[in-house]
Amino acid sequence: MADDGGLKPKPAETDPLSDDIKPIKNATALVSEAKRGKRVDKPKKAHLLQWMEITVTEPEKKTIASMKMQDTFVVYLIETRVTDENMQGYGEGATSVWRRYTEFELLRNYLDVTFPSVIVPPLPEKKASYAWQNVSMDRFDPDFIERRRAGLEIFLLRCAAHPRLCQDKIFMGFLHQEQGWRDTVNATDFYSKAESRLKALNAQFRLKNHDRRFEELKNYCTELQSNIGNILKIRARLCDKLYGIHKVHGNYARVFNEWSAIEKEIAEHLQSASHYMDVYSATIDAELEEEEQYADQLKEYYAFGDSVRAVCRRYECAQYDLEKAEEGLVNKSCQREALKLAIAESPVSEENNGQGKGGFSLSGVKTKLFGGDTPEQREIRLKQLDEQIVQAEAELKNVQVESQEFIEFALRDIDRFQRQKTKDLQEIFTNYAVMQIKQCKKGIAIWTSAKDCFSKM
Amino acid sequence: ASEDTPVITAAGENNSSQIKCPQNEKIKFKDPLMTGLDKDSDDDGMESLDLEASNKSEEESVSRSSSLIANFRLDDDCDGETRDLFIVVDDPEKHTSTLEAYITFRVTTKTTRDEFEGSDFSVRRRYNDFLWIRHRLEEKYPTHLVPPLPEKHSLKRMDRFSTEFLKVRQTALQKFLTRVADHPVLSFDKCFQIFLTAKAWEFQAHKKQGSGFLTRVSESLNNMSASYMMKNRPPEFALMHDYITLLSDKLGVMDRIAQRVAKEQNDYMAELLEWGPCYTLWANAEDQLAGALLTMSKALDECVRTIKELIDATDNRFAQPVKEYLLYTECIKNVLRRRDAIQNEYDSVIEEISRKKDEKEMIKTSDQTYSIGAFLGKDPEDVKQQKHEKLEQQIADMIRQMEYFNDRTVVANADLKADMERWHKHKQRDLKEIFITLADMHIAYYEKNLAIWENTIRTIQNKEHIQLPSTASINENQDHGIV
């Protein structure tokens, strides 16, 4: 198992997963639900959010002159506060640090490598995607920054809610360490533990025994992303059309005004009505901005697809390692058997038939090149092989244990993810419906007022 | 059957009031092919003579006429007038002959007026018949405001037999007839009465008589120039003219906005139509989440329905009426032009008279020695005398003409003024109602959507108290373990 860098996770006697599945809506909801979890009397806290509050706020533009260029970027304020008096030993009461997006990326990369069997939560997107006409592509646009801020907060909350991720020292350092956190991270040299792309590719195509569950999971991710992609694409088009409808109604405002100029008795009512048409036209901006939330939430799950697929890839690598170790052991065993056989067949004469079974054997070649082995040399060789085999067996056991653990943890995390996903998405759809209801109520109010004006005409 | 005679005479003081015009002739509408018919029971079986019309029996129509009258809204009754002429247009039917296919509507009339021999009538008319009656009324009452008809061809609706189109047209035709029936002068017109009561053959025969085609053409040319040359238009008509021009402008803008909104809404609906299936497709790949996804999909499909209803209702009950008022303003512009032409004739004669009078004065002191008469051997003094007499004669003639034109102008102005006052009141009421309807339709749309999304939340959160049958199957798929 990879180094967790901190407290080792307790094996699952007390299942740490049972009460941490809550739909992630926002910080306050999560914290309050975490607090509710305290009703179950557990001696151990399963995850950070049960006793700590984390917020990401106050995005600020910062410019520093570094080297030759000016670098402008946004920093976010990360604040934590211990909410459970019993946990005073951990954490430092209230803390605050400033972080920028690239530091979040560094944290995520570290967690990704360090916890290969964990589905690490994704970060909010680097650039606006599936944008409709009013969405700015400028990364300093205040709306974009606000959405990013919300996404970063959710990222931290999800990590904190994960029983294994939250115990990591680097993660805690991210929350608390004001100076030199980057150096601390780089000092762990985590990059070297990352699986190489080549190995992953090899693994994908050369596995002999593939656990169907991971294969199916990969397919599921592809479908999930395809489905979410479709929804986001059409949603963007819907926004454009809805925007158009409202803005064209703004023209009614203008014509009502012009009309009121040629009327006497009804002039003031026409002007009031005109005002409401303007309001109707203007409300769409705020409504659609709020709806971006829905898109962001779906995008998070789109990105989760990548995280899940990463776990599957790591499974394949682990399986690859396992199979290689098995193969290695089998090879060595074969070699030993061959050598034994060779010794048994020709104990004295090395020049005649120094070969074992089969035309081309290594010992045969060696005999040709270096002269035959003396029986003593063969014995030495045999002993060597025996030792190697013992080693290989031990290694194989290790790899098997590691692989088992990996699969066990991965499957458990996957199950956790699926359950979280169901709850989250139900909540996400509910939120969307809530937004629609708000829009409908607003529409009713505006048109009722307009109707009032018309009735007085 | 006796011909109709023009009801309006030159001395038309009676016409601007709202009293019934005295009528001397009794109009008999005896269908030549139906002998021995009691004039009180002109309701049975006459329809069968119209070989191309349907075979609906008249008894059926009459017994329904009272319920049809009930369709009338009481607030149609404007100005507190007591109505004695009710008209309903309904029941469109398609007829196919060898040459063409067309639609007829049933026109049902209920009245207490004496001039109509009887109190209930039911006939079938097609759009061209309406065109004819409108044409005749315009001809006979050029300075009165004859309500407009819906356009012959709607550019949008290619299918002139679709139910929607027919419903809209039917409503417009009824409005037309009702407006004519409410007009204190037009409603007493003989042709109008014939339109409402005559059976097929008689009506066809009547239509063929009287054209007035040529007069219309020349009249319109006159009108155009008259409006441009109008110098001393009375202020009230100048105001009317300006107002109508501006209002027509605004109505045109509103019509275009309505079209634009409809286009955007249609585009929106097209996207929505594609969105629901995305959720269904996703539901295919899920277990626990399938229920919520299918609920979303269903909600979106219902939203497609509501926006379609809004689009259609807006077109029928807002855009079409606005267009119709636009047509109305065009009619008014025409009538204003005709009034201008009439006044123009009067003004021209006045000018002529003045010129001739000047000429007459000039003659007195003129020297006729070099005139043509002198060359022909006449005595210059005689020529002078002759010319003077001729001019006097001309002036006398023109003065008579002037009096005639003056009367005509006064009548035209009075007619138009009265009609415009009535029109203003109606317009106020009609436009107010059109816009209230627009607001109502939007409110209804949002209320429907509100219900859809509230329902969606209840279903997804599985907290509904009432199990709605349509979502029961969805609830079965819902996850039970996790709350």
- A95 and A219 assigned to the same domain: no
pLDDT in tens, B117-172: 888 889 999 898 999 999 899 888 888 999 998 877 655 555 566 777 788 888 88
**Lowest mean pLDDT, pick from A68-77, A146-155, A322-331, B451-460:** A68-77
pLDDT grade, residue A86 (50/70/90)?
low
Is A230–B281 a contact, with Cβ atoms under 8 angstroms apart? Answer: yes
Closest Cβ–Cβ partner in B260, B275, B445 for A248:
B260
- A247 and A309 assigned to the same domain: yes
The per-residue pLDDT for B59 is: 41
Q: How far is CA A272 from CA A246, A253, A278, in A?
A: 18, 9, 10
Identify all chain B residues contacting A270, using CB atoms and an 8 Å cutoff.
Answer: none
The per-residue pLDDT for A241 is: 95
Sheet holding B101-111, edge to edge: B85-96, B101-111, B120-126
Identify all chain A residues contacting B453, using CB atoms and an 8 Å cutoff.
Answer: 433-434, 436-437, 440
Closest Cβ–Cβ partner in A228, A238, A444 for B272:
A238
Is B257–A252 a contact, with Cβ atoms under 8 angstroms apart? Answer: yes
- Interface check for A38 against chain B (CB to CB < 8 A): the answer is no
The per-residue pLDDT for B223 is: 57
Identify all chain B residues contacting A455, using CB atoms and an 8 Å cutoff.
Answer: 432, 436
The per-residue pLDDT for A40 is: 36
Q: Compute the nearest-CA separation of A134 from chain B (Å).
A: 16
Best CA proximity match to A312, nearest among A226, A403, A218, A198: A218
The per-residue pLDDT for A364 is: 62
**Lowest mean pLDDT, pick from A34-48, A199-213, B378-392:** A34-48
- A297 and A442 assigned to the same domain: yes
* Residue labelled with tokens 């409401």: A276
Closest Cβ–Cβ partner in B431, B436, B450 for A437:
B450
pLDDT in tens, A414-452: 999 999 999 999 999 999 999 999 999 999 999 999 999
- Interface check for A232 against chain B (CB to CB < 8 A): the answer is no
- A249 and A109 assigned to the same domain: no
- Interface check for A445 against chain B (CB to CB < 8 A): the answer is no
Q: Which of residues 17-36 of A touch B (CB under 8 A)?
A: 21
Identify all chain A residues contacting B261, using CB atoms and an 8 Å cutoff.
Answer: 245, 248-249
Q: How far is CA A141 from CA A130, A300, A351, in A?
A: 16, 20, 83
- Report CA A191 to chain centroid distance, whole Å: 18
Best CA proximity match to A58, nearest among A120, A148, A123: A148
- Residue ranges of chain B with per-residue pLDDT less than 70: 1-82, 153-161, 210-231, 463-483
**A379 Cβ neighbours under 8 A, 6+ residues apart:** A343
| Residue A30 near residue A423 (C-beta atoms within 8 A) | no
Is A434–B274 a contact, with Cβ atoms under 8 angstroms apart? Answer: no
Q: Compute the nearest-CA separation of A126 from chain B (Å).
A: 26
- The yes-or-no verdict on residue A75 having pLDDT over 60 is yes
Closest Cβ–Cβ partner in A224, A230, A245 for B264:
A245
Instruction: Report how many domains make up chain A.
Output: 2
pLDDT grade, residue A177 (50/70/90)?
confident
Determine, yes or no, domain membership for A26. no
- A248 and A118 assigned to the same domain: no
Q: What is the mean pLDDT of chain A?
A: 82
**Lowest mean pLDDT, pick from A204-208, A264-268, B301-305:** A204-208
Give the span between the Cα atoms of B1 and B34, in whole angstroms.
14
- Interface check for A448 against chain B (CB to CB < 8 A): the answer is yes
Fold type of domain B248-463: Substrate Binding Domain Of Dnak; Chain:A; Domain 2 (1.20.1270)
Give the CATH number, domain containing residue A73. 3.30.1520.10
Determine, yes or no, domain membership for A406. yes
Higher-confidence residue of B98 and A118: namely A118
A62, β-bridge pairs:
A73
Q: Compute the nearest-CA separation of B133 from chain A (Å).
A: 33
Determine, yes or no, domain membership for A234. yes
| Residue B446 near residue A451 (C-beta atoms within 8 A) | no
Is B447–A249 a contact, with Cβ atoms under 8 angstroms apart? Answer: no
Identify all chain A residues contacting B479, using CB atoms and an 8 Å cutoff.
Answer: 422
Higher-confidence residue of A5 and A389: namely A389
Amino acid at B455: N
- A301 and A186 assigned to the same domain: no
**Lowest mean pLDDT, pick from A113-127, A354-368, B305-319:** A354-368
- A83 and A179 assigned to the same domain: yes
- A248 and A277 assigned to the same domain: yes
- A291 and A335 assigned to the same domain: yes
Closest Cβ–Cβ partner in A220, A237, A422 for B288:
A422
- The yes-or-no verdict on residue A363 having pLDDT over 70 is no
Q: Compute the nearest-CA separation of A132 from chain B (Å).
A: 14
| Whether the predicted model's global pTM rises above the 0.80 cut | no
Q: Which residue of A has its CA nearest to B444?
A: A444
Interface test with B, best of A451, A452, A453, A455 (most B CBs within 10 A): A451
* Residue labelled with tokens 């009535």: B422
Give the span between the Cα atoms of A202 and A212, in whole angstroms.
18
Identify all chain A residues contacting B268, using CB atoms and an 8 Å cutoff.
Answer: 238, 241-242, 244-245
Is A426–B461 a contact, with Cβ atoms under 8 angstroms apart? Answer: yes
From A202, A219, A243, the end of a domain falls on A202
- Interface check for A267 against chain B (CB to CB < 8 A): the answer is no
Determine, yes or no, domain membership for A19. no
Amino acid at A202: N
- A193 and A227 assigned to the same domain: no
Q: Which residue of B has its CA nearest to A447?
A: B439
What CATH number is given for B81-210 in this structure? 3.30.1520.10
Mean of the pLDDT values across residues A449-456? 94
- A272 and A172 assigned to the same domain: no
Question: Where in the sequence is the domain holding A279, given as residue range(s)?
Answer: 208-344+376-456
Question: Would you list the domain boundaries of chain B?
Answer: 81-210, 248-463
- A255 and A131 assigned to the same domain: no
